[in-house]
Amino acid sequence: MVYHAKPGKTADLESIFRAVSPLQAKHDLNVVGYWVSNDGSAWKDAFIYLIAQPSLEGAKRNWDALHTNPDFLPYRRAAAPLIEQVNGAYHVDEVFMRPADYSALK
C-alpha cells in the first residue's frame, strides 16, 4: 500500500498507523514493514507499508474483517483528511504482488 499524504501530513499519517497496527495484527494482516522517505525526494509525502498474506483470498478476507471492525472506524476517520485526493478519490495505490521465484522473502 502506498498512501500519498497531503503535503506535510506524512508524520501524522504515520502516527495513525502506529496506533492501528495492533488492530491490523488482530486481523492477521501481517505487516512486514512501514516506510517513509528520509529525504526531500518526490516520495516525501508517501507512507508505504507491505503486508504478507498466504493467499489473495485470505488477504481480502482479512481486509474485510479489519474494515468492518467498529474499532477501526476512528482510525479511518482520522486518516481521511490527511490523504491527498485526486478527482475526488483518495490517492492510495493498493497492489497485490507475488514474490519472484528468486526472492529471499517469500
Backbone angles phi, psi at 53, to 5 degrees: -135, 145
Query: Alpha carbon of 78 to those of 13, 40, 67, 101: distances in Å?
Result: 9, 25, 14, 39
Q: Sheet holding 46-52: strands in order across?
A: 30-36, 46-52, 2-4, 92-93
Q: What is the dotted CATH code of the domain comprising 2-93? A: 3.30.70.100
Confidence band for 3, pLDDT divided at 50, 70 and 90: very high
Domain ranges (residues) in the chain: 2-93
Q: What is the pLDDT of residue 10?
A: 95
The whole-number average pLDDT for the span 65-91 is 96
- Report the mean per-residue pLDDT for the chain: 94
**Helix, strand, or coil here: 41?**
coil
